[in-house]
A and B are shown apart, each in its own frame.
Chain A
Amino acid sequence: MNREILLSAKNLTVSYHSITAIQNVSFDIYEGEIVTLIGANGAGKSSTLKAISGLVTYTGNISFRGKELKNIPADIIVAMGIAQVPEGRGIFGNLTVMENLKLSTWQRKDKDKITLDYERVFSLFPRLSERKRQLGGMLSGGEQQMLAVARALMSDAHVLLLDEPSMGLSPVLVRDIFQILREINQAGKTILLVEQNANMSLHIASRGYVLETGRIVLAGTGKELMGNPRIKEAYLGG
């Protein structure tokens, strides 16, 4: 592959006081890819995404388009083009759907494109369009997940980091969300998808990394990982 490396982590280590959440994690994400990071509870998936978004301090390096991200505040990282859909969706329950979307355009100044992006997002998620004026807290879990993805799109980031978007959703909804992720990817976004649901995520990912107790233990293409006996046993239910 001679595509451009968009996002790269080198020897990433995140600790909370004495607890080490991830250790020497390295990975590369190329322009236009869907990469998945799979791992069990507590493996360090969220910590990895938090490091990229600038929410936790770390040792090691993260670079985006060749630019070192360390010490850049989280809000500027969004402006640079990395948005995160956090674990548990992070919808502001006291804000309306529209306000949730509007807030994520904070760093943008391209008014005309924002208008177009609203239209695009509402055609992608017609349910949200019907519920513009409802409070975020009144939405169902699936609708909240759609809103969380829609927010990331409204921030106009080039890279989307998704932290377990399938969590707590019915299989049908999970399929819908993953289908939409695929469409978003085909429309040009690069995606880092964190999941415990390895089956679905390896299907749509071009490559994947497996995280176990804070370390990357396996890496490969989606197909390779799906065929790996160890993955089959641990993450795909035998």
Chain B
Amino acid sequence: MIYILQQALNALQLGSIYALIALGYTMVYGILTMINFAHGDLFMVGAFFCFLIAVYLKLSFVPTLLLSMLGVASLGVIIERFAYKPLRNAPRVSAIITALGVGLFLENFTLALSPYPQHIPTLINSTTWNLGGVSVSSLQIIIIVLSLALMFILDFIVQRTKVGMAMRAISWDKTIVPLMGVPVNKIISLTFAIGTGLGGAAGVMYGLAYPVIDPYMGIMVGWKAFISAVVGGIGNIRGAMIGGFILGSVEIMVAAFLPSTYRDVVSFALLLILLIFRPYGILGKPHPQKV
């Protein structure tokens, strides 16, 4: 029982990181019906920004987090503006190839600057409590609470604000939105900023939890977050959150009860099975109702 509680806590931590990244995939898909395959690498860049800021600027956790998010968000906006926007009306495959190319560029650019794995310094002096046999660290709590807070803020923006309304309208039919007086390109930029900024936040938190970072760390995590988004129903924001937590739980549970090499194969297989029964994901709908 205690073992299960312990694993549930770990699942919550991993799941919240997947969920944060999955949100970026789903927001961009929702608004542009495009998969930003560079998103996992933007997550990696977030971890590297965290490293750079912590080491060279010696800032504490909160400013490091905010600056890293801002840095990744700016990068996301620039990538959208110069790599994806010119292809908005091109065949879908061009945008996919471009996104993969941008991802490879980010990996190799980072590799060129940092050929060896880096170690993020301790930003949070984590204390660990023992609650009836379950060990809980303050770092874990911070990651989970912060991720949930970011998700609530995002959900509020999308469901309750005028900007969120515009995002949802664009996901329905972006050709009509300018007729409402809404500057579509600005909303798309903002969507990229928020989506990639959350990916950056995930990079920072992942880097705090697993402090050794390398330029390829975004590949596998990115794929898993992408699958989380698909499991939840790509384009659906709440779906991405649910998908992230499901994937995190499946992974942790499989690793807890089976040899650790089984982890990825079992979790991917479970997800494939889920998609057979719910091809549009848990909250997805066949209709283009997204975001």
Contact = CB atoms under 8 A, between A and B. Distances in A.
Interface of A: 53-55, 73-75, 78-79, 83-84, 86, 90, 92-95, 99, 102-107, 151, 155
Contacts, number: 71
Given A93-B289, A102-B162, A78 B168 contact: no
Interface in B166-192: 166, 168-169, 171-173, 175-184
Contact of A103 (B169, B183, B289): B169
Contacts of A104: 180-181
A103 B165 contact: yes
Given A95-B165, A95-B168, A103-B177, 14 more contacts: A74-B178, A78-B179, A78-B180, A83-B179, A94-B168, A94-B171, A94-B289, A94-B291, A103-B162, A103-B165, A103-B169, A103-B180, A104-B181, A151-B180
A78 B179 CA distance: 7
Given A90-B173, A106-B162, A73 B178 contact: yes
Given A73-B183, A92-B172, A95-B172, A55 B165 contact: no
Interface of B: 162, 165-166, 168-169, 171-173, 175-184, 287, 289-291
A62 to B, nearest CB: 16
A124 B183 CA distance: 29
Contacts of A155: 180-181
A74 B176 CA distance: 10
Most chain A beta-carbon neighbours within 10 Å: one of B166, B168, B181, B182: B181
| SS of B interface (majority) | helix
Contacts of B165: 95, 99, 102-103
Interface of A is mostly: loop
7 tightest CB-CB pairs across the interface, nearest first? Answer: A74-B178, A78-B181, A90-B176, A107-B181, A106-B181, A104-B180, A92-B169
Nearest to B166: A103
Contacts of A79: 181
A75 B289 contact: no
A75 B183 contact: yes
A33 B287 CA distance: 40
Contact of A86 (B166, B172, B179, B287): B179
A177 to B, nearest CB: 18
A86 B176 CA distance: 8
Contact of B168 (A55, A84, A92): A92
Contacts of A103: 162, 165-166, 169, 177, 180, 182
Nearest to A157: B181
A106 B162 CA distance: 8
